[in-house]
């Protein structure tokens, strides 16, 4: 690793971070900084040049965003291996090597580059410890296929955790594990078909992927408006057996919370119409004000609520382990049809997660998540209020991993989301709420570290304002 000493010109009116960015970019493009070369750390470069760490971090972040360098966890910053666009000299006849297919911390092209993420959001050392135990002590279990319903050890841990953390009352036999909430929703549709139920209702606006599953499976779908206290129960179908999909503890995308009285009304609707409620509790344990709101399922005395949860939002994105808690009547139906299907969720990861939970690691991780994400949410609200006042309004739901942004701009929400992605922020449009003059997007603030969040939000707002000036010019 070589030192980098800058010769800052006194007559240069550019910001120091731009001068640093231009210098390193030029050295990379000229080949003087070879591909894969390690760059000095933020503190080292700042100390050697007598400048602030923040200035260096800003320059490095811009180089990261544009794909000239890459960050490797617990290792540092490196010149990206993909700048040249070449396949590499280690393959023959156009074949790719494993290293080229699985680069350490980058993707194939700048356009396909991953968004910036918070490297401290998950402690992989604990996960690695549990996975090592799986291979060292439970390798024999991996020689057989996974249980269609999910591994017994993980179902036991989930049932125990849900009762203690979410007030969900169930036995391990009621838990069904699958590779993602979408797969489990499909299972539920098949179960309900066995009972002659082919109608569903869902919140509008609501979670798009579930709506698409209902459509793909040929379910007759009704879209029900959402109020400040959740779904409009009075608009739900009557005298017709149905399923209603809701997020009562943190409605997507509005963040609305269904109060206790309305929860009992919803359960009464299900009882009166011989129907079922699918409660998606996707991130409700991450509440930053007061105590987490107990699940709707815990109020159910007549077996009308199906509870849906996922580990993807609380652990790490690539672990596709979700779970569904069925009422006993639906468990009996699933037992009759489950032999038609196979488990698509990794058995090794299921056992690893059971060990992770049994050792108490998951409980401690959730506690850290609440603290870290509460700080990020506070920063998000603070930054948009300071820099986006009059242009961008962030709506605080005091929970979850994202906030809804209302942006007064006459450009498509998809375009605004791309502006966010260009600086490393993950955003999705909420097209159901967009108008000609106001766009609504869903911003996942948890993805980046709290200090970096300040910088990237400022860059995002600045780019939006710049674009608005160009439109109005």
Question: Where do the domains of the chain lie, and which CATH numbers do they carry?
Answer: 16-89 (1.10.10.10), 124-359 (3.40.640.10), 368-472 (3.90.1150.10)
Model pLDDT, residue 89 = 39
Model pLDDT, residue 205 = 87
**Side-chain-side CA neighbours of residue 251 (13 Å):** 24
What residues of the chain score a pLDDT lower than 50? 85-94, 105-114
Two structure tokens written together for 401: 């991993």
CA dihedral 209, 210, 211, 215 (to 10 degrees): 100
Model pLDDT, residue 88 = 36
Model pLDDT, residue 86 = 29
Three-state secondary structure call for residue 276: strand
The answer to whether 399 and 374 are in contact (CB under 8 A) is: no
Model pLDDT, residue 291 = 64
CA distance 114 to 424: 8
Kind of pairing between the strands at 199-204 and 220-227: parallel
217: number of Cβ within 10 Å = 16
CA distance 238 to 270: 9
Phi, psi for 114 (deg, rounded to 5): -65, 155
| Nearest partner of 298 among 162, 103, 449, judged by Cα | 162
Model pLDDT, residue 471 = 67
Model pLDDT, residue 84 = 53
Model pLDDT, residue 104 = 52
Model pLDDT, residue 256 = 82
| Nearest partner of 75 among 54, 118, 105, 106, judged by Cα | 105
The answer to whether 269 and 236 are in contact (CB under 8 A) is: yes
CA distance 328 to 332: 7
What's the pTM value of the predicted model, to 2 decimals?
Answer: 0.74
Two structure tokens written together for 465: 């304002």
Secondary structure (H, E, C), 120-159: CCCCHHHHHHHHHHHHHHCHHHHHCCCCCCCCHHHHHHHH
């Amino acid at each position: 690793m070589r030192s980098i000493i800058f010769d800052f010109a006194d007559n240069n009116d550019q910001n120091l971070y731009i001068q640093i960015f231009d210098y390193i970019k030029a050295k990379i493009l000229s080949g003087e900084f070879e591909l894969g070369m390690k760059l000095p750390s933020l503190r080292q470069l700042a100390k050697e040049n007598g400048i602030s760490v923040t200035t260096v971090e800003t320059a490095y972040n811009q180089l990261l965003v544009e794909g000239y360098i890459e960050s490797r966890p617990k290792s540092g910053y490196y010149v990206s291996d993909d700048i040249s666009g070449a396949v590499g000299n280690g393959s023959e006849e156009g074949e790719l090597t494993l290293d080229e297919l699985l680069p350490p911390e980058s993707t194939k092209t700048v356009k396909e580059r991953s968004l910036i993420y918070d490297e401290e959001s998950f402690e992989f050392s604990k996960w690695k410890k549990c996975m090592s135990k799986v291979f060292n002590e439970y390798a024999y279990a991996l020689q057989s296929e996974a249980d269609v319903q999910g591994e017994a050890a993980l179902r036991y841990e989930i049932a125990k955790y849900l009762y203690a953390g979410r007030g969900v009352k169930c036995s391990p036999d009621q838990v069904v594990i699958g590779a993602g909430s979408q797969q489990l929703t499909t299972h539920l549709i098949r179960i309900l078909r066995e009972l002659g139920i082919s109608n569903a209702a869902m919140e509008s606006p609501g979670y798009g992927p579930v709506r698409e599953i209902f459509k793909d499976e040929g379910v007759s779908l009704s879209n029900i408006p959402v109020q400040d206290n959740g779904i409009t129960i009075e608009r739900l179908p009557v005298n017709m057996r149905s399923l209603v999909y809701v997020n009562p503890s943190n409605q997507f995308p509005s963040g609305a919370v269904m109060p206790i009285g309305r929860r009992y009304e919803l359960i009464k609707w299900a009882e009166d119409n011989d129907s079922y409620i699918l409660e998606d509790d996707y991130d409700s344990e991450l509440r930053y004000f007061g105590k987490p709101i107990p699940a709707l399922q815990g109020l159910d005395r007549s077996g009308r609520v199906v509870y849906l949860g996922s580990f993807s939002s609380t652990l790490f994105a690539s672990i596709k382990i979700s779970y569904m808690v069925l009422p006993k009547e639906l468990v009996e139906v699933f037992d009759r049809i489950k032999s038609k299907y196979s488990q698509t969720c990794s058995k090794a990861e299921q056992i690893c997660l059971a060990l992770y939970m049994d050792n108490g690691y998951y409980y401690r991780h959730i506690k850290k998540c609440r603290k870290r994400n509460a700080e990020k949410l506070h920063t998000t609200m603070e930054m948009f209020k300071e820099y986006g006042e009059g242009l961008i309004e962030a709506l605080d739901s005091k929970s979850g991993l994202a906030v809804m942004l209302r942006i007064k701009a006459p450009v498509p929400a998809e375009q605004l989301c791309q502006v966010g992605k260009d600086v490393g922020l993950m955003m999705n449009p909420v097209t159901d709420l967009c108008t000609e003059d106001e766009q609504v997007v869903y911003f996942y603030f948890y993805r980046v570290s709290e200090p970096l969040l300040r910088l990237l939000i400022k860059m995002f707002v600045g780019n939006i304002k710049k674009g608005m000036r160009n439109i109005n010019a």
